[in-house]
């Protein structure tokens, strides 16, 4: 499966909102799967050592938008 290139409409169930800082030079699309790397920064999901799945964002986040806000 290829990486997302735009936002995705993902069905939502009620859950807990948790905030993570977004890693540098990173783009996270709304509706995508998100992992946290070993340093504690949000990244697009990948099957990589040290990544832990944490959820699905409601809106798009990039390093530029994350400078003043955290991923929700």
- Among 37, 30, 38, 39, smallest CA distance to 71 is for 30
Whole-angstrom distance, CA of residue 38 vs CA of residue 25: 16
Q: What is the pLDDT of residues 26-66, one digit of tens each?
A: 889 888 899 999 999 999 998 889 999 998 888 888 776 65
Whole-angstrom distance, CA of residue 40 vs CA of residue 7: 23
Total count of domains within the chain? 1
- Does residue 1 carry a pLDDT above 90? no
| Residue 11 forms part of a structural domain | no
Structure token pair of residue 68 = 């003043």
Structure token pair of residue 50 = 């040290």
pLDDT at 66: 54
- Cβ atoms of 22 and 61 closer than 8 Å: yes
Residue numbers of the domain that contains 48: 27-66
């Amino acid at each position: 499966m290829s990486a997302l290139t735009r936002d995705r409409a993902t069905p939502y169930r009620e859950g807990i909102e948790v905030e993570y800082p977004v890693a540098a030079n990173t783009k996270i699309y709304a509706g995508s799967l998100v992992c946290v790397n070993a340093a504690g920064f949000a990244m697009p999901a990948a099957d990589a050592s040290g990544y832990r799945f944490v959820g699905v964002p409601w809106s798009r986040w990039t390093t530029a938008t994350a400078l003043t806000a955290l991923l929700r």
